[in-house]
Amino acid sequence: MQPDLSCFFHPESIAIIGVSRNSSKAGYGILKNVLWTFSRTEKIFPINPKVKEILGLKVYHSLKEVPGNIDLVICFVAPRSIPSLLKECHQKGVKGIIIESAGFAEAGKEGKAIQEEIGQLGKQFNIRIWGGNCMGTVTDELITTFEPITADMRRKGVVSIVGQSGYFSGAVILQLFTERYTGIRKAASIGNRIDIDECDLLQDFLKDEETEVAAFYLEGLKRPRKFLKLAKEFTQSKPLICLLGGQSEVGRLATLSHTSSTAHGSPQLLSDLLKQSKIIQATEFGDFFNILEAFAKLPLPNGNRLAIVTITGAGGVIGADIAAKYNIKIPEFSESTTRKLQKLFPEWMPPKNPVDSWPAFEIHGLDEALRQIIPILCESNEIDMILLMIAAMQVAITFDPTVLQDMQKYRKPIITYIVGDNSIKYLWTSQIRSNGGVVHDDINTAVKILDLMASHSLTRET
C-alpha cells in the first residue's frame, strides 16, 4: 500500500481549529499563511466558538457546522480536546489532521497517554495524523506553519526537507530562504510522529520528480529498516542528507523532553548503515545547510580533480593542505593548459595549481583575469571542480560577482571563498548566493563540500 500524503500537500478543503484574532498567536499565524498560499479561498474554514469573522472569513463554531466534507484539519488546541475532535473529524470525512500544539509524550505521562489515544483513534477512523508538537508544512502551494513567511522569502526550489523539530519550519527555513536563497520544494516538520513519519515523507519524495535533493533532521529513526531501504532507492539517483540528533548520551536524554524519540542505538552502527545506503551525514545545522545548498545549486563534478584559483599564496597553500586530508586531487596542469594560462601571467610567474593569480590580476584586473582563467580550466578535461579564493578589500580589489554567473554554463561546480572586509564580504556573498552560487568564509567547509559532491558523483557511477 502506497501511503498517500496528498491530503496534506494538495487538500481540496481546509479547516483550522483554534483560530485567533491576536496576531501574535499561532492560531492567527496558521490561518494567515493558509489564506495567503491556498488557492481555493472559499474552501478555508476557520473554527472558533467565540469569534464570528477573522481576516474577512466567516468563522464557524464547530467542525460539524462547516458545509460539505473537509480534507485537511489543522489544529492548535490543547491536547486533551483532540480525541473528541477526531470523532468530529471522522463524521466530516477528514483525511488528515496536522496537530501543531505541544504537550504530548514530550511533556510527561499524561501527554503520553493522550498521544497514544490519538494514534489509536486515527487508525480506527482511518485519519492520517501529522505531528503533534510540530510546525506543519511549507510548499509552493500551501504553507501551514504559524511562523510568518513573507513573499520575498518564498522561492520555489528543489530541496525537500523534513525536520522532527518545529524549529525546522521556522528558523531553519528562514535561513535557507534568506541567507542561502535555496528555495524549498516541500518542507515538513513532523514533531512527535504520532502517525506520519520520515518513511512516509521519503516515499512521497521518491515519487516526486520535482524533489531533487532530500534532507532530514531526525531524533531517532522510527522504522530504521524501512527508512534505509527507501534511502537506498532514493540515493540511486539523488542525494539524501541526514542530520541525526541524540547520538550522545546527553543528547539522547535531551531528545526525550524534545520530541520524545527513542534512541538511535549504537552511533557507529547507525553511521555504518547510513553509509551503506549512501546517505550523506551532516554533523550539525551549519553543515546541514552547507551540504544541501551545494547539492541544490551546483552541478555535480565528474571526478575529484580540483583547481584552486586564488589571489593569495597563503590561501593556495592552506587550500592544498586541506584538500590533502580529503579524497581530492590537485593535479599539475598539462603543458597545453599551462601554455593557455601563461598568456595571462608575467613571464617570471609560470602558472601552477594552486593558481596564484595575483600577477595576472595586476595585469588584467581581477574580473578579466577570472573571465579568462576559469574557462581555460573548465574547458580542460584535467579539472572537475574549482575553488576560487578572493579577498574583500576597500581599494586594492574590485570584483564583480556576475563574473561567476557567466561561468555556470560550463557545468562544473565552483565554490568561492571570501575573506576580508565585512561589509564587502556580505554584499558579494549575497550576490553570489542569490544568483545560484555557493560561497563560504572558511576554506575547510568549501573543500569538504566539494569532496562530498565528488564522492557522491563517483559512488553513483559504481
Q: Which of residues 416-455 bind a second copy (CB under 8 A)?
A: 419-423, 425-426, 430, 441-445
Check binding of 323 to a second copy (CB under 8 A). Answer: yes
The three-state secondary structure class of 4 is coil
As a whole number of angstroms, the distance between CA 452 and CA 457 comes to 8
Which is closer to a second copy, CB of 335 or CB of 348?
Answer: 348
Does residue 71 contact residue 94 with C-beta atoms inside 8 Å? yes
Task: Give me 421's grid cell.
Answer: 572586509
Pick the piece of the chain touching a second copy (CB under 8 A) from 81-89, 221-229, 323-331, 450-458.
323-331
CB neighbours (10 Å) of residue 350?
A: 11
Q: Does 131 bind a second copy (CB under 8 A)?
A: no
Site for a second copy in 251-280 (CB under 8 A): 251, 253-255, 257-259
| CA separation, residue 301 to residues 295, 452, 459 (Å) | 11, 10, 12
Binding status of residue 170 toward a second copy by CB under 8 A: yes
Min. distance of Cβ 406 from a second copy in angstroms?
Answer: 24
Closer residue to a second copy, CB minimum distance, 48 or 429: 429
Distance, in Å, from the CA atom of 27 to the CA atom of 265, rounded to the nearest integer, reads 38
Q: Which residues contact 425 (CB under 8 A, 6 or more apart)?
A: 392, 418, 419, 441
Question: Helix 82-91 and helix 109-125: axis angle, to 10°?
Answer: 10
Asked whether position 47 contacts a second copy by CB under 8 A, the answer is no
Rounded CA gap, 213 and 316, in Å? Answer: 31
Q: Give dist(CA 207, CA 205) in Å, integer.
A: 5
Q: What is the per-residue DSSP string for 74-126? A: EE-S-GGGHHHHHHHHHHTT--EEEE----SGGG-HHHHHHHHHHHHHHHHHT
Pick the piece of the chain touching a second copy (CB under 8 A) from 52-60, 193-201, 207-215, 282-290: 282-290
Q: How far is the CB of 149 from a second copy (least distance, A)?
A: 9
CB 308 to a second copy: min, Å: 9
Q: How far is the CB of 339 from a second copy (least distance, A)?
A: 18
Cβ distance 218 to 286 under 8 Å? no
Can you tell me which of 36, 43, 57, 148 binds a second copy, judged by CB under 8 A?
A: 148
Q: How far is the CB of 275 from a second copy (least distance, A)?
A: 18
Alpha-carbon distances of 274 from 235, 241, 300, 453, rounded to whole Å? 11, 10, 21, 17
Could you say whether residue 27 binds a second copy (CB under 8 A)?
no
Q: In this structure, what is the dihedral angle of CA atoms 77, 81, 83, 88, given to the nearest 10 degrees?
A: -80
SS3 165: coil
Contact between 285 and a second copy per CB under 8 A: yes
Site string for a second copy, 199-238 (x = CB under 8 A): ------------------x-x-------------------
Asked if 175 is part of the footprint of a second copy (rule: CB under 8 A), the reply reads yes
Q: Is 349 in the site for a second copy (CB under 8 A)?
A: yes
Q: Write out the H or E segment, with its range, that includes residue 450.
A: helix 443-461
Only segment of 60-68, 169-177, 203-211, 407-415 that touches a second copy (CB under 8 A): 169-177
Stretch that binds a second copy, among 37-45, 71-79, 100-108, 232-240 (CB under 8 A): 100-108
Q: Which of residues 355-414 bind a second copy (CB under 8 A)?
A: 356, 391-396
By CB under 8 A, is residue 163 in contact with a second copy? yes
Nearer to a second copy, 247 or 304 (CB): 247
Collapse the DSSP code of 226 into the 3-class scheme (helix H, G, I; strand E, B; otherwise coil) and give the result. helix
Could you tell me the end-to-end alpha-carbon distance of the chain, in angstroms, rounded to an integer? 31
Q: Which is nearer to a second copy, 78 or 87 (CB)?
A: 78
Q: Tell me which of 46, 246, 413, 437 binds a second copy, using CB under 8 A.
A: 246
Instruction: Please list every residue from 286 through 315 that binds a second copy, using CB under 8 A.
Output: 286-287, 312-315
Binding of residue 28 to a second copy (CB under 8 A): no
**Closer residue to a second copy, CB minimum distance, 96 or 245:** 245
**SS3 category, 267:** helix
Residues touching a second copy, count (CB under 8 A): 82
Nearer to a second copy, 189 or 235 (CB): 189
Q: How far is the CB of 20 from a second copy (least distance, A)?
A: 14
